[in-house]
Amino acid sequence: MKTSDSAVLDEPKIHEPTADAVVEPVIESRPRPTAVGIKEAKIYIDGKFYSEADAKVSVFDHGLLYGDGIFEGIRFYNGRVFRLGEHLDRLWDSARSICLEIPMTKEAMMEALLEAIRQNRLRNGYVRLIVTRGIGNLGLNPTQCKWPSVIIIMAAITLYHENLYKKGLTIVTCATRRCNPGALNPAVKSLNYLNNVMARLEANLADADEALMLNDVGNVAECTADNIFVVKRSQIVTPPVTAGALRGITRSVAFEIATELGFKTLKADITRHDVYAADECFLTGTAAEIVPVVKADGRLIGIGKPGPITTRIIARFREMTRETGTPIFA
């Protein structure tokens, strides 16, 4: 077998190391693809912009060591940042909840984020806004971290292929339960997402598009990265935040759209039975936007195709993202 390079893998040249040999790290000779999908990306770290190759954090940052920090995922469309104010409000709420002092005002954060988009010369994309506890020592005590760190990363993101918005997702219930609010409150968008990652692994192993997470009492909380809605007899229902659901920004937009279109909405505990028996089902999230679900745990939802209410909500959402938001290049 031959690679795209001239090396022939089935005819290796073996060299026995000498006693004095120094083992060097393997360095990929070919250019590494950009992780964010943007050529010559510029990443903001604590007031300065760095290339992707030079953007680094300390190994002593408590965000890395302990997941001690918070984040927001934010989308921008057609030169406008969608629901930027709501995202920053939630970031500050998360910070207050974990006693993390963000080292800048909301106004300064907004300008830094807009400038980061301008630096990357983008009109459409995704922003990951991160605030870590900062550099400390190997102990848990957060008081050792004297200065929080702010990181802003741009990315070209497509969470799901466009075909899935037309055909719908398949989801499975995972064994991993959503964190109890008494342990780690899901209302805080913290850097500790291992709970979600483990559920995502279960979805991968089941060859599903997403995993449905239950709370400690067996009610539906949310999916690994999205809020869930069910539609029954034209009423739209989603779990309350007390069930372990994140107070999603796109979740709120979905309620606004539903009300505008004249549909009844409700925040209430739901079970897997409610998902199985739903006429329609859809997920909401900043990265996912609004995407239909057509199968759960092997059971078709409704007729197994995106329903009319879901389709209308998606269409209205896309209109809103094209027409509203905070201008980037004002």
By annotation, the residues acting in catalysis are 189
Report yes or no: 44 and 150 within 8 Å, Cβ to Cβ: yes
Give me the half-sphere count of Cα atoms (radius 13 Å) on the Cβ side of residue 204.
6
Which helix (H) or strand (E) segment holds residue 80: the answer is strand 80-81
Q: How far apart are CA 197 and CA 20, in angstroms?
A: 43
Which residue type is seen at 4? Answer: S
Q: Looking at 233-325, which runs of residues are DSSP E strands?
A: 235-238, 264-267, 280-285, 289-296, 299-300
Kindly state the tokens that stand for 292: 């239909």
Kindly state the tokens that stand for 163: 């075909």
Q: How far apart are CA 112 and CA 182, in angstroms?
A: 34
Kindly state the tokens that stand for 52: 């992707």
- Main-chain phi, psi angles of 179, to 5 degrees: -55, 135
Kindly state the tokens that stand for 137: 């020592």
Q: How many residues does the chain have?
A: 330
C-alpha angle 311-316-320 in degrees, rounded to nearest 5 = 145
- Main-chain phi, psi angles of 198, to 5 degrees: -65, -40
DSSP string, 26-38: P--SSPPPPSSS-
The CA-atom distances, in angstroms, between 280 and each of 134, 231, 260 are 44, 5, 19
